[in-house]
Amino acid sequence: MKLSIEQSSELSRLLADPSRLRLLLLLEIHALSIAELTEITGLAQSRVSTHLSRLKRAGLVQDQRTGGAALYALNDDGGEAAELWRTLRERLDDPQARLDRERAEEVVLSRKSGQTWAESVAGRMELHYSPGRTWEATARALIGLLNLGDVLDLASGDGVLAELLAGHARSVTCVDISAKVLAAGRKRLRAQANVSFCRADMSSLPFADMQFDHVFLMHALSYAQQPTAVMTAAAKMLRPKGRLVLASLNAHRHEVARDAFDHVNLGMSAAHLRKGLEQAGLTVEFCEITSRDPRPPYFEVVTALALRPEN
What digits encode the pLDDT tens for the residues 53-78?
999 998 899 988 766 678 898 887 76
Residue 130 lies in a domain: no
Which residues 6+ apart lie within 8 Å of 39 measured at CB? 103, 107, 124, 127
Residue 128 lies in a domain: no
Would you state the pLDDT for residue 114? 55
Task: Please report which confidence band the pLDDT of residue 11 belongs to, taking 50, 70 and 90 as the band edges.
Answer: confident
Q: Which of 100, 123, 146 is the last residue of a domain?
A: 123
Q: 114 and 256 share a domain? A: no
Top-confidence range, 5-14, 34-43, 78-87: 34-43
Q: Report percent pLDDT > 90 for the chain.
A: 56
Task: Please report which confidence band the pLDDT of residue 117 belongs to, taking 50, 70 and 90 as the band edges.
Answer: low
Residue (of 232, 209, 211) closest to 196 by Cα position: 211
SS3 state at 51: helix
Domain count, the chain: 2
Q: 173 and 294 share a domain? A: yes
Residue 129 lies in a domain: no
Would you state the pLDDT for residue 235? 97
Do 306 and 282 contact (CB within 8 A), yes or no?
yes
Task: Give the β-pairing of 195-199 and 69-74.
Answer: unpaired
Task: Please report which confidence band the pLDDT of residue 184 belongs to, taking 50, 70 and 90 as the band edges.
Answer: very high
Residue 36 lies in a domain: yes
Q: 217 and 179 share a domain? A: yes
Question: How far are the Cα atoms of 39, 177, 219 from residue 182, in angstroms, in the given order?
Answer: 40, 8, 17
Q: 247 and 149 share a domain? A: yes
- Is the pLDDT reported for residue 30 higher than 60? yes
Which residues 6+ apart lie within 8 Å of 297 measured at CB? 252, 254, 257
Residue 65 lies in a domain: yes
Do 246 and 222 contact (CB within 8 A), yes or no?
no
Domain containing residue 280: 135-307
Q: 154 and 225 share a domain? A: yes
Q: 182 and 104 share a domain? A: no
Q: 98 and 44 share a domain? A: yes
Q: 142 and 115 share a domain? A: no
pLDDT 10s digits, 256-270: 878 888 899 999 999
Q: Report percent pLDDT > 70 for the chain.
A: 90
- Is the pLDDT reported for residue 116 higher than 70? no
Q: 181 and 259 share a domain? A: yes
Task: Please report which confidence band the pLDDT of residue 98 belongs to, taking 50, 70 and 90 as the band edges.
Answer: confident
**CA dist., res. 195 & res. 174, Å (int):** 7
Residue 222 lies in a domain: yes
Do 104 and 40 contact (CB within 8 A), yes or no?
yes
Q: 146 and 291 share a domain? A: yes
Q: What is the mean pLDDT of residues 110-136?
A: 63
User: Residue 260 carries which side chain, given as an amino acid letter?
Assistant: A
When the pLDDT of each residue in the chain is averaged and rounded to a whole number, the result is: 88
Phi, psi of 176 (to 5 degrees): -150, 155
Q: 116 and 141 share a domain? A: no
User: 47: domain CATH number?
Assistant: 1.10.10.10
Residue (of 161, 30, 172) closest to 101 by Cα position: 30
User: 281: domain CATH number?
Assistant: 3.40.50.150
Q: Which of 91, 123, 155 is the last residue of a domain?
A: 123
Which residues on adjacent β-strands are paired with residue 32? 72
Task: Give the β-pairing of 69-74 and 61-66.
Answer: antiparallel
Would you state the pLDDT for residue 51? 93
Q: 151 and 117 share a domain? A: no
Would you state the pLDDT for residue 126? 63
pLDDT 10s digits, 88-97: 888 888 888 8
Q: Which of 67, 93, 123 is the last residue of a domain?
A: 123
Residue (of 115, 110, 117, 94) closest to 45 by Cα position: 117
| Residues comprising the chain, all counted | 311
